[in-house]
Structure 1
Amino acid sequence: MATVILYGTETGTAELVADAIADVLAADFDPSIYDMAEFAAEDLNADDFLVVICSTYGEGELPSGALPFADELDDVDPDLSGMHFAVFGMGDSVYDDTFNRGGEIMAEMLTKRGAAQVGEHFRHDASSTIKPTVAAAEWAQGLKSVIADD
């Protein structure tokens, strides 16, 4: 099974997180990393395990890097039945009501099309002292068993 890592970012931090997760998964799952801005929704494959990394921008919106993919998901509306995915969300708890909303929006968009979210939906807090890449590497260690069981 292929592992596909998609990231949506505004400032580039989600790309660094994607790299950290890929480093942990590399030995066992040979992951491919793609920017959501450059990934076509019709290239989603139910046989792949999908890892979504998405930041939150503005008032709880998707970052600009995730918008092309999200728009295409709405336009193409692919059947993602059988696909499993995990989410590493990024946000800042200073924004109470919209904290980590970007990752939640992506999860909603995928489950609406039949994909199943598995594992822990991680919500990194930019206000914490833990760097997102460190949190991502730790999260990815646990994700290995989820992918292996898939």
Structure 2
Amino acid sequence: MSVVILYGTETGNGELVADAISDVLAVDHDPAIYDMTEFAVEDLDPADFLVIVCSTYGEGELPTGAEPFAEELDAVDPDLTGLRFAVFGLGDTVYGETFNRGGEIIAGMLTKRGAVQVGEHARHDNSSPVKPAKQAAEWAEGIAAVIAPGEAG
């Protein structure tokens, strides 16, 4: 099964996380990584497994890198029935209630259109000593099992 990893980032951490996830998933799958600014909504395919990596900017907004994708989702409003996805969010607990909102916003936009979120919704905390790429690699090990149960070799 093909895996599409989309990242939305403000500072570049999302891209590093996407690379770490890709490295883990490449063992059993064929991941492709795209910046959300360069991925067209009409290319979402229910036959693929989608991994969303999204940071949070400001007071709980989407990062600049995720805005074009979100705007296109709203404009096109595709039927995403059958699409399965997982989310790795980046944020900082110093922002309290808006911690990790970026990933939650994108997840909500996808489920509203019929997609199904699977696995743990990871939420990296930039205030923690754990590096985002390390947490992402560990999370990806768990996600690998739900991508296509029984398919991994």
TM over 0.5: yes
Matches within 5 A, 1:126-137: 126-137=126-137
Report how many aligned residue pairs link the two structures. Answer: 150
Q: Secondary structure of the residue that 1:95 maps to in structure 2?
A: helix
Matches within 5 A, 1:37-56: 37-56=37-56
AA in 2 matched with 1:64: T
Matches within 5 A, 1:1-150: 1-149=1-149
Q: Secondary structure of the residue that 1:50 maps to in structure 2?
A: strand
Within 2, Cα distance between the matches of 1:83 and 1:92? 29
TM-score (norm 2): 0.97
Report deviation, 1:25.
0.4
AA in 2 matched with 1:31: P
Within 2, Cα distance between the matches of 1:76 and 1:46? 16
Within 1, Cα distance between the matches of 2:148 and 2:72? 30
Within 2, Cα distance between the matches of 1:69 and 1:148? 26
AA in 2 matched with 1:76: V
* Structure 1 runs, 4 residues or longer, greater than 3 Å off: none
Report deviation, 1:19.
0.1
AA in 2 matched with 1:93: T
Q: Secondary structure of the residue that 1:31 maps to in structure 2?
A: strand
Report deviation, 1:148.
2.5
Within 2, Cα distance between the matches of 1:135 and 1:129? 11
AA in 1 matched with 2:140: A
**How big is each residue's C-alpha offset from its partner over 1:19-76, in whole Å with a ceiling of 9 and x where there is no partner?**
0000000121110000001100000001110000000000100000000000000000
Q: CA RMSD in A?
A: 0.8
